[in-house]
Chains A and B, each alone.
Chain A
Amino acid sequence: MQETKKTPKLPIKLPEMSYKQQKLFWAIIFLLPWAVGILLLFLVPFIESLRYSFFDLTPQAGEIVKEFIGFENYRYALNTHVTSISSFRVELLTTTTDVLINLPVLLIFSLFIAVLLNMKFKGRAIVRAIFFVPVILNSAAVVSAVGGGEAINAILEQQGIDRIFDLEFYLLQTGMAPFLITFIVGLIERIYDILALAGVPILLFLASIQSIPKHLYEAAKIEGATAYEMFWLITLPNVTPHIITVTVYALVDTFLTSSVSTIISDELNQQNWGLSSAMAWIYVAVIILILIVLGAFAKLLKIGESHYEN
């Protein structure tokens, strides 16, 4: 706010500028804080990290010894790297496939819930608050504190209340095929995962639905459109630009909270700086590749273009 409050009455007068020039002038001012940030806090660390990834860095008595090793870090990360339970390559592949499977489900689910939460009904405030809980719980601090509660889980299990009803057992009793049961149980376990991921997308969609001009719905109602038609012809086209935002968010968020990211942090903490940078760069390359593919796909289907012609 500080930057904005100063600006309405500038001492400099701008009478001679055309509207286009004015736009350029203000664009520079608006981008100034961000540009300073990019120059100071992003580009330098960014290039530094790229450089590190080609070096073997060993800390030695107060200084860091650098040795250029070319693509050796990358080769090591992809081919030889192993942790106690897994390896970088395996985790990267699982995370990527998981994201690609979860994304469409996540998008449809969160849009659906956002439409539901936008309707008027009793207790809407409380339901909205409950759907916000996963957003809050999705924090490293909370996870570490609750994860420390394994002793509690042991007690709960001992008392038999870790689950309210054992779905798997119940389904086996009905004589269903085992592969169907694993599928259903897996699906139900996934619901919580999806719900946890969907917190932010739901709010984004909710905000974008709120910003659709009301008169469109009024006009449609007068013309006799049903709620179904209004969803497909008004809500969806107005929300599509935000589908890409949600996709980018979900993609980055899943990668950031995945085990790939943990491996990178671990290597960083073990002072394998070169290796950790190389891994971070492979990670970035994978996300950008997915984004480019999805972007091309979206352009092909003309998703995400504002339907107000700009």
Chain B
Amino acid sequence: MKTNIIEQLKASYHGVVTDLKDPKKNAKRSRKAKEFSLTFIRSILLIGLCFVILFPTIQQILMALRAPSDVNNPAVIWIPENWSIMNIKIASIVLDYRHAVFNSFKLSAISMILQMASTALAGYAFSRLKFKGSNILFILVILTIVIPPQALSLAQYLYFRGLGLIGKEGSIYLMSGLGMGIRSGIFIYIFRSFFKGLPKELEESAMIDGAGVFRTFWSVMLPNARGALVTVGLFAFVWQWNDAYYVKIFEVSTQQFPLLTMRLINAAENMYAALFYTGGLNLIGQDVWENPVFLALISNVSALLMMLPLLIMYLFVQKQFVESIERTGIVG
């Protein structure tokens, strides 16, 4: 019996050794180990960074879900004792949320489309339709990127006042459509570097097939620069949504046309007055609204409400960041 066990052990040991020496299996094993360690390191890294990003936001969300009377209850640290959406309700009244979201969305969407059109055309011209002096013109683009908007806004205001566009959305659309909107210079730069990166053969084969310059741009080059289109569209939308500078100077946000950013800034400056004028005070007792921490909390919740639509939108848009279109027939 004894020898039998030892022999069995020996046999299994032998089996393990031969197994370890098998180059095919070894390669497989090392590949698996590499894959595992990659996934492991990646997960730890990403989870850690996500935590760093999300930590303040989670804190704010949990505070937002407290009942207003619990705002500085020292017994509540993380999980609210009494869950309530009262804070969110009050904040949405202060922001005039439904109207403001609709208006902000309209303004951002239209100006996004205009910006994409004007900057894509200019970017294409600067990268693919070079002519004498186009590089000198491009220096102007760099200048528009570099100059701070403060340096130009006074003269721009006077100009728009002459046109009678102050207090109207048209001023923002005009800026976007003429490629002078929020960071349009950067967008032209992005389009230019993307179009530059496309192989020359694409253009040549389109030309040989008889496509004109515009046809080449519209049906060959533009679909290939989808990454740039998605990125520029996204940034144009988000920056317009978040913009408080131009909207303030051109006085776009009015009582009839409230915009999220201006509502938020005005409310944050004097939360008590904002609550008073919108009737938010009626929802809560005096002991609550006399508490400065409660007022600060409402302005935090309002900020959360402002970024919520963008986050939801991004969840859909991020699917567009997929693999590039197959460029069959061209070996770059």
Contacts and interface: CB of A to CB of B under 8 A. Distances in A.
Contact of B293 (A26, A37, A116, A151): A151
Interface string A18-50: 010011111100110110111011101110110
B186 A252 contact: yes
B53 A133 contact: yes
Nearest to B121: A30
B321 A148 contact: no
Contacts of B302: 145
Given A129-B314, A249-B186, A310-B196, A288 B146 contact: yes
Interface stretch (B1-9, B14-22, B149-157): B149-157
A33 B331 contact: no
A268 interface: yes
Contacts of A210: 227, 321-324
Contacts, number: 329
A291 B152 contact: no
Contacts of B314: 129, 132, 136
Contacts of A273: 154
A215 B327 CA distance: 8
A129 B180 contact: no
A280 B150 contact: yes
A156 to B, nearest CB: 8
Contact of A150 (B122, B151, B296, B331): B296
Interface stretch (A1-9, A67-75, A94-102): A1-9
A291 B142 contact: yes
A276 B150 contact: yes
B92 interface: no
Say whether chain A's binding surface is mostly helix, strand, loop, or mixed. Answer: helix
Contacts of B49: 113, 131, 191, 195
B177 interface: yes
Contact of A284 (B148, B184, B245, B296): B148
A259 interface: no
Given A211-B224, A248-B186, A248-B189, A30 B122 contact: yes
Interface in A112-132: 113, 116, 119, 121, 125, 127-132
B259 to A, nearest CB: 10
Interface in B236-272: 238, 242-245, 260-262, 264-265, 267-269, 271
Interface stretch (B71-79, B81-89, B281-289): B71-79
Given A37-B180, A256-B148, A242 B193 contact: yes
B178 A36 contact: yes
A292 to B, nearest CB: 10
Contact of B300 (A33, A45, A149, A249): A149
A249 B129 CA distance: 24
Contacts of A31: 121-122, 125, 137
A265 B45 CA distance: 39
Name the interface size band of chain B: 35 or more
B148 to A, nearest CB: 6
A213 interface: yes
B134 interface: yes
B331 to A, nearest CB: 7
A241 B193 CA distance: 7
A265 B244 CA distance: 14
Interface in A160-191: 161, 164, 191
Determine which residue in B43, B118, B269 has the highest number of CB atoms from chain A within 10 A of its CB, and name it. B118
Nearest to A140: B244
A206 interface: yes
Interface in A219-265: 238, 241-242, 244-245, 248-249, 252, 255-256, 261, 264-265
Contact of B227 (A34, A211, A280): A211
B310 to A, nearest CB: 5
A213 B331 CA distance: 9
Given A130-B53, A145-B265, A261 B148 contact: yes
A121 to B, nearest CB: 7
Contacts of A108: none
A85 to B, nearest CB: 20
Interface of A: 1-4, 7-8, 14, 19, 22-27, 30-31, 33-34, 36-38, 40-42, 44-46, 48-49, 113, 116, 119, 121, 125, 127-142, 144-146, 148-152, 155-156, 158-159, 161, 164, 191-192, 195, 200, 203-204, 206-208, 210-216, 238, 241-242, 244-245, 248-249, 252, 255-256, 261, 264-265, 268, 273, 276-277, 280-281, 283-284, 287-288, 291, 306, 308-310
8 contacts: A38-B140, A42-B180, A133-B54, A133-B57, A152-B63, A152-B293, A207-B321, A215-B326
Given A33-B177, A146-B60, A204-B231, 5 more contacts: A132-B318, A138-B242, A139-B243, A207-B230, A288-B142
